[in-house]
Structures are given as structure tokens and as C-alpha cells.
């Protein structure tokens, strides 16, 4: 009786899982394994919000496997050592996994693959989490892309996402699995949940796991995809897909998201669906970049920005703390940072606003924002996080020119005109009329008094003058623009 191991990593699902599909095709029994080894993530071990999500996602995967006569083997430790132990215990002759694309993961996988093959074990990696492998698309000169638009055109010309694979009806376990640690007790032993329970907001907002991913996908394609081109810009409405954490953990594959959106595309929904699919291609672009330019996780892609005159940590420490806590005195910025802390997620339009505010108005290095997002986002994804923050700072691929500095007041007035988003997350100023809500420091004394608000007591004064800080950023840019 032949046994193959499937090493689950960033593909915590049963449907459209090429590694699992191949193992089931080739072997009589399959040993599903998850190995927790955060120390092998180099400088980017999972943050607190990611660990919360991972705990629940692993439990969901184990439950789905149980329904198919199987279960998830959960171990912690060095992946090669754990795999060697499981091979010895189960008699497995092959190991399958879905590819990861970060530099540390690539180095680990190459080492594991070489050692297992030397021992006579078959090893196969599979394309599970992207529609186009990073090395398959290149410019006419054979170089990696650094600008999204030509990358997207190349994707459309050469990539035809195939139909997603169905979930298996059964996943037969080898007899040896009965002697191994399966399921929830082993997952609890990883101690992924916070000891001080700050995660109630996350539990209210999300349903981790493959079933939750499919429910969210179906809700989006049938109620939001058709108007995604317009609805996605308003943070006070449910106009985005909110699929990013499901995609990051691989509870949903990009092929599944693409196919589901394609299925509802008609004349009335075409524009919205195509905008959503462009976001899926943007995710592919992020992985293309991190694969070809791995140093950009903490170093600017544009080398000129290596000498950018950021403020010093001792100078910006208090501003950074106020930013992280949603106490900058700029309502749209504070709303976004509070949404992030409470739900582990932030609307994409607001991510751009807070990114511009941190790097340009506060003149704080983008790496500080990237680190905070990494710890607090349930969809903390190294490729997307890096691309987003370097875009905001003007130092990365496809970056907005540095002189394009978002005015948070105008952004708030345009995209949250009725103030629904700001009122939800900054309730201490909710009584203000719409116009002064976006910039309460500009409100008259009588308006503030009528609303029962004293700035500096009920809500902070702005940390910076927006006009003066904008000019400071432009002056700093002059020193590196070349």
C-alpha cells in the first residue's frame, strides 16, 4: 500500500489543491501534514493577527479532512526533521507541497527537497497559489516587470486560468496515522491564540477556513462583483471582496476566485468583474516582484531612496504611537487604524491614505508601517504588504510619484462623503455635521460646542499641519530625486 505525504503550507484547502490532487492520484493513502516552523520565516514570522487566523484555519482544515475519513497531522519543528520522522513512521515514498515564493521559503524548500531526494524520496512541488508562476512572464528583453500595466497586458495575453480542481470525496489515511498527533489538541499546542484576549473583533468580522472562504466568495460574486468598479472605493460600504486573508492562507485559490467571478460576468456586471480580476492580477504582480526582487521587503526598489532623509526614530516615536493607536487627529486616518486594530483588516482606499500620511505627512519610514501592518493584519502577506507600502512611499515598483501626496481631508470628503466610515470608527466626533467631521480642527467654536466636543480633550488636535508637512515631504524628495 503506497503512501504519499502532502505538506500543507499556504494552501489550507481541499478543493483546487494540486498537491493533494496529485497525491491522491498516485498513492493508495495520503498523510496530510502541517509543520509549524515560524523561526524559518527569517525576519518575518507570522504576526499576532496572522497567528489567530492560522489557528482557526488549521482547525477548519482538520474538520474538513475528518469528514473525508482523514485528519491533519500537526507538528512543530524543523520541517526536514519532521518529514523524515513521518516518512519513517508511515513508509511514505513521496512528498508533495504547494510552492511559496518568498526568499526564505525558497531556500528552505530547496534544502528539504535536496535532502529527501538524496534519501530516495520523490519530491514534487506544485503551483497552488498563483495563476502565473513568477518566472513565466517577462518583458520583451527577458527582464522582470516593474510596472503593473504591461505586466497585466502580458498576463491577459499568455495566461488562461484553468478550471479549479474539485474537492476530493475521501482522503484515505495510512494505518500508521492512528499513532500520530492529529487535530485540535495538536493545534492548541502551537499556542497561536493570544493569551490576553484582544481578538473578539476579529472573531466578529471573520470566518477563517475553506468554508468561510467559499461563503464570502459566493456572497461577493452574487452581490458585489458587478458593482466592484464603483463600490470598492467607499470604505463605509461593503463594496470590496474581503477575500485577501482567504487568498493569503490558501483557503481559496486565485483560480477559484477568477472562475467564480467569470461565471457571473455579463453585460451588466462586466466592468465590476474586470476590475476585480485586475486586483487578482495585482496580487500576481506582487509575487512576481518579491520573487525577482527579494530585497525589497525592507529595502527600497528604487536605490535613490536608500538615502531618503526620513526623520529619526527618537524624533518620530510619539507620532508613530499616535498613528498606530488611531490618535493622529486626522479622522479618516484614525478610522482606518482603529478598523485595523479591531478587525485585523483595513479598506484598501484607506490603506493608501494612511500609507501616504505616515510616509509623507509624518515623514516616517515605510518600513515602520509595513511592520505594524504585518503584526495587525489578518491578510498580512509579505508580497502584497511590501508592494503596497513601497507604492505609498514612492520607492517601489509602479510607485506613485513622490509628489503625489494624498490630502486626507479631500480623500475623506470624496470617498466617505456622508461620514459613515469615520462615524463608525471615530465615534467621539460622530455628532459633528458632515463637513467639519472630516477636519474638526477647522470647525467653528460654536459647531464644536453644539456637538459637545473639545479638541485636545475628547479628540486630539492634528499631529501635523497638513500643508506644512506636505511641503516638508516635497523638500525631502528634492534631495533624492536625481
Q: Can you give the chain as a three-state secondary structure string?
A: CCEEEEEECCCCCCCCCHHHHHHHHHCCEEEEEEEECHHHHCCCCCCHHHHHHHHHHHHHHHHHHHCCCCCCEEEECCHHHHHHHHHHHHCCCEEEEECCCCHHHHHHHHHHHHHHHHCCCEEEEECCCCCCCCCCCCCCCCCCCCCHHHHHHHHHHHCCCCCCCCCCCCCCCCHHHHHCCECHHHHHCCCCCCCCCCCHHHHHHCCCCHHHHHHHHHHHHHHCHHHHHHHCCCCCCCCCCCCHHHHHCCCCCHHHHHHHHHHCCCCCCHHHHHHHHHHHHHHHHHHHHHHHCHHHHCCCCCHHHHHCCCCCHHHHHHHHHHHHHCCCCCHHHHHHHHHHHHHCCCCHHHHHHHHHHHHHHCCCCHHHHHHHHHHHCCCCCHHHHHHHHHHHHCCCCCCCCCCCCCCHHHHHHHHCCCCHHHHHHCHHHCCCCHHHHCCHHHCCHHHHHHHCCCECCCECCCCCCHHHHHHHHHHHHHCCCC
- Among 66, 133, 262, 348, the one annotated catalytic: 348
Which three cell numbers mark 93? 515514498
- Among 53, 97, 366, 374, the one annotated catalytic: 366
Please say if 44 is a catalytic residue. no
Please say if 366 is a catalytic residue. yes
Q: Give the whole-angstrom CA distance, residue 73 versus residue 8.
A: 10
- Among 26, 279, 424, 428, the one annotated catalytic: 279
- Among 66, 233, 282, 407, the one annotated catalytic: 282
Which three cell numbers mark 351? 490603506
Q: Give the whole-angstrom CA distance, residue 16 versus residue 30.
A: 16
Please say if 129 is a catalytic residue. no
Which three cell numbers mark 434? 458632515
CA 282-287-290 angle, to 5 degrees, is: 125
Q: Give the whole-angstrom CA distance, residue 203 versus residue 52.
A: 9
* Pair 245, 208: CB distance under 8 Å: yes
Please say if 389 is a catalytic residue. yes
- Among 372, 389, 391, 425, the one annotated catalytic: 389
Q: How many CB atoms lie within 10 A of CB 253?
A: 27
Please say if 52 is a catalytic residue. no
- Among 310, 345, 391, 425, the one annotated catalytic: 310
Give, in order, the Cα–Cα distances in Å from 212 to each of 98, 193, 206.
21, 19, 8
Please say if 7 is a catalytic residue. no
Residues with catalytic function: 279, 282, 310, 348, 366, 389
Amino acid at each position: 500500500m503506497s503512501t504519499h505525504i502532502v505538506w500543507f503550507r499556504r494552501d489550507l484547502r481541499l478543493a483546487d489543491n494540486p498537491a493533494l490532487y496529485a497525491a491522491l492520484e498516485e498513492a493508495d493513502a495520503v498523510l496530510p501534514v502541517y509543520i509549524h516552523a515560524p523561526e524559518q520565516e527569517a525576519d518575518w514570522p507570522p504576526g499576532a493577527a496572522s497567528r489567530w487566523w492560522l489557528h482557526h484555519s488549521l482547525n477548519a482544515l482538520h474538520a474538513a479532512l475528518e469528514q473525508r475519513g482523514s485528519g491533519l497531522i500537526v507538528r512543530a519543528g524543523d520541517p526536514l526533521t519532521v518529514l523524515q520522522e513521518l516518512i519513517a513512521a508511515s513508509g511514505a515514498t513521496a512528498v508533495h507541497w504547494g510552492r511559496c515564493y518568498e526568499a526564505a521559503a525558497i531556500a528552505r524548500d530547496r534544502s528539504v527537497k535536496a535532502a529527501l531526494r538524496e534519501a530516495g524520496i520523490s519530491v514534487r512541488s506544485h503551483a497552488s497559489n498563483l495563476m502565473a508562476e513568477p518566472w513565466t512572464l517577462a518583458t520583451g528583453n527577458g527582464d522582470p516587470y516593474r510596472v503593473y500595466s504591461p505586466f497585466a497586458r502580458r498576463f491577459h495575453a499568455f495566461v488562461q486560468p484553468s478550471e479549479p480542481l474539485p474537492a476530493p470525496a475521501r482522503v484515505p489515511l495510512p494505518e500508521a496515522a492512528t499513532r500520530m498527533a492529529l487535530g485540535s489538541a495538536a493545534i492548541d499546542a502551537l499556542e497561536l491564540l493570544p493569551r490576553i484576549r484582544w481578538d473578539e473583533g476579529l472573531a466578529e468580522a471573520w470566518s477563517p477556513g475553506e468554508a468561510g472562504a467559499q461563503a464570502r466568495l459566493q456572497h461577493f460574486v452574487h452581490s458585489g462583483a458587478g458593482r466592484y468598479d464603483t463600490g470598492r472605493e467607499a470604505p463605509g460600504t461593503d463594496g470590496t471582496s474581503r477575500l485577501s486573508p482567504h487568498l493569503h492562507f490558501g483557503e481559496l485559490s486565485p483560480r477559484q476566485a477568477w472562475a467564480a467571478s467569470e461565471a457571473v460576468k455579463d453585460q451588466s456586471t462586466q466592468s465590476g468583474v474586470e476590475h476585480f480580476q485586475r486586483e487578482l492580477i495585482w496580487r500576481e504582480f506582487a509575487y512576481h516582484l518579491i520573487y525577482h526582487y527579494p530585497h525589497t521587503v525592507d529595502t527600497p526598489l528604487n536605490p535613490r531612496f536608500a538615502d531618503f532623509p526620513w526623520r529619526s526614530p527618537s524624533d518620530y516615536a510619539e507620532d508613530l504611537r499616535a498613528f498606530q493607536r488611531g490618535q493622529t487627529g486626522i479622522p479618516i486616518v484614525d478610522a482606518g487604524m482603529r478598523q485595523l486594530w479591531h478587525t485585523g483588516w483595513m479598506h484598501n482606499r484607506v490603506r493608501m491614505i494612511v500609507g501616504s500620511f505616515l510616509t509623507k505627512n509624518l515623514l516616517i519610514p515605510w518600513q515602520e508601517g509595513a511592520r505594524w501592518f504585518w503584526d495587525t493584519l489578518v491578510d498580512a502577506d509579505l508580497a502584497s504588504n511590501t508592494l503596497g507600502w513601497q507604492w505609498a512611499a514612492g520607492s517601489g515598483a509602479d510607485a506613485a510619484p513622490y509628489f503625489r501626496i494624498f490630502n486626507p481631508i479631500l480623500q475623506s470628503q470624496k470617498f466617505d462623503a456622508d461620514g459613515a466610515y469615520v462615524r463608525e470608527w471615530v465615534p467621539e466626533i460622530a455628532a459633528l455635521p458632515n463637513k467639519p467631521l472630516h477636519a474638526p480642527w477647522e470647525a467653528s467654536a460654536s459647531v464644536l460646542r453644539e456637538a459637545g466636543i473639545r479638541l485636545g480633550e475628547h479628540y486630539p488636535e492634528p499631529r501635523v499641519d497638513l500643508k506644512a508637512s506636505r511641503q516638508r515631504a516635497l523638500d525631502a524628495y528634492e534631495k533624492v530625486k536625481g
